[in-house]
Chain A
Amino acid sequence: MIYQNLEFSIADLYLLWRGLQWTLLVWSVSMALGIGLGFVLSLIRHARIPVLAQMVVVFVETFRNSPLLVQLFLVFYGLPMVTPFAPGPAEAAIFTLSINTAAFTVVNLVAALDAIPRGQWQAASSFGLSYRQTMLYVVLPQAIRTAIPPTMNLAISQLQTTSLVSIIGVTDLTRSGLVLYTRTLKPFIIWPIIGLVYFILAKVLSLLAARVERRLQAKNTWFEAAA
């Protein structure tokens, strides 16, 4: 007879804790890298640098219009076949999520940059500020404030999306749930707990986001006047 431990133990809590750590690691690193990369790509796109700007558009359209899971498979299984790189599950997960996040960040930031009225550019340029100075001191401070709320929403939704990395073998929160489920065969205990942890994380983040947004609004009554 095959022995199977159908009961939960204290050790299972540790398994969940490790899973949570992986989820947070994959999420935070890929958010940081993705938003950073997205920022640089947005500047290239907005400056309409020939060839590079078109490449950014193709990149963005590709990654925002295809399922993340397909992107994950492509990187994890596909990359070793065509390149010398064979990423492990965590590397593949972080790489893919970063790229995916970068694509959406470009959408948000380019929209915010494009929304800066022409008059702002004209005023700065009429006083002799260079493109770089205008960007740095006039346009970006305004555009970043516009892009903060959608970027925070993106970060919250990407947190849920990280659960997909369990499929390529990252031992994140979802994968820990899968492990416990296959051992105990108690889905209606395991999945609500896993779901609740994601819920709490997302709720904390969105409360934080709402607070930041409120402060931005309170501080920047000027913002409506910008248009």
Chain B
Amino acid sequence: MIEIDNVDKHYGNLQVLSAVSMQFQDGEVTAILGPSGAGKSTLIRCINCLELISQGDIRVDGMSVLDKHRTAEIQKRTSMVFQHFNLYPHLTALGNITLAPTKVLRQSRAQAEAKAMELLKMVGLENKAKRYPAELSGGEQQRVGICRALAMNPRHLLLDEVTSAIDPEMTAEVLRVIEDLAGQGTTMILVTHEIEFARRVADRVAFMERGSLVAHQDADTFFNRQSDERIARFIDKMKH
């Protein structure tokens, strides 16, 4: 379980998160929606200890992000998929996926590679294992990015606008992989602008605006019985 407890985050005078409190239950898929600059990405980066929070607390399975000794363990339990992939350009797809498992989880090379091949097969890229990121399309790179995150056997998968840097015709292949994962009961928090996709996969939806959490509801209520006028307008606008 991930608990966000009254979190503030600011860069100098710029307030990016203000008094955000929410919980993410295990096995749930939560979509975080909201206009650009709402602080959605910042929030999940704070969960992964990539950014420090200014106030409040975040606990991942009971461990506080404020406790420096727990950072490594929290990062082991939460894997991130990045908007711009951030694959290691000097390593093959296989090398990208096996690096952290061999160095951080101390798996043997054979074990890590077997797992990596299994994951690549799942995303339909088993024949691209020896390719370098630059030899792959955006959609393929992001699928490798997802494999890299899953190879760590994370308890929580954090996806940061994973399709917004990909050509539209290739987003489908990435979304299909995420949808499969959602079906398998992986805990996911996904920041996205793909509202139709959120409707399909999310159990719960969090709506953020200007650094604040406006709503945190189950997906059915959020999409079908929305009482907040502003959110309803946002949903309507994003459909087109």
**B100→A128 contact, CB < 8 A:** yes
- Decide if B75 is an interface residue (CB 8 Å cutoff): yes
Q: Write the chain B residue with the least CB distance to A123.
A: B86
Q: Please pick, from A128, A129, A130, A225, the residue contacting B89 in the complex, using a CB distance under 8 A.
A: A225
**B75→A128 contact, CB < 8 A:** yes
A-binding segment of B31-39, B76-84, B116-124: B76-84
- Decide if B139 is an interface residue (CB 8 Å cutoff): no
A120 and B88 in contact (CB under 8 A), knowing A125-B75, A137-B103, A222-B133?
Answer: yes
Report chain A residues within 8 Å CB of B149: 127
Q: How far is the CB of B156 from chain A (nearest CB, A)?
A: 12
- Decide if A7 is an interface residue (CB 8 Å cutoff): no
Count of chain B residues with a beta carbon within 8 Å of a chain A beta carbon: 27
**B89→A222 contact, CB < 8 A:** yes
Total contacts A to B, CB within 8 angstroms? 76
A119 and B82 in contact (CB under 8 A), knowing A126-B48, A221-B134?
Answer: yes
Report chain B residues within 8 Å CB of A223: 89, 134
Q: Write the chain A residue with the least CB distance to B76.
A: A128
Q: How far is the CB of B43 from chain A (nearest CB, A)?
A: 15
Q: How far is the CB of A83 from chain B (nearest CB, A)?
A: 44
Q: Please pick, from A119, A125, A129, A141, the residue contacting B90 in the complex, using a CB distance under 8 A.
A: A141
**Which B167-213 residues sit within 8 Å CB-CB of chain A?**
none
- Decide if A142 is an interface residue (CB 8 Å cutoff): yes
**A128→B72 contact, CB < 8 A:** yes
Docked CA distance A130–B76 (Å)? 12
Count of chain A residues with a beta carbon within 8 Å of a chain B beta carbon: 25
A126 and B84 in contact (CB under 8 A), knowing A142-B89, A222-B134, A225-B89?
Answer: no
**Which A16-65 residues sit within 8 Å CB-CB of chain B?**
none
- Decide if A133 is an interface residue (CB 8 Å cutoff): yes
**Which A61-104 residues sit within 8 Å CB-CB of chain B?**
none
Report chain A residues within 8 Å CB of B88: 120, 123-124, 138, 142
Residues of A within 8 A of B (CB): 117, 119-120, 122-130, 133, 137-138, 141-142, 145, 220-226
Residues of B within 8 A of A (CB): 48-50, 72, 75-76, 78-80, 82, 84, 86-90, 99-100, 103-104, 132-135, 148-149, 152
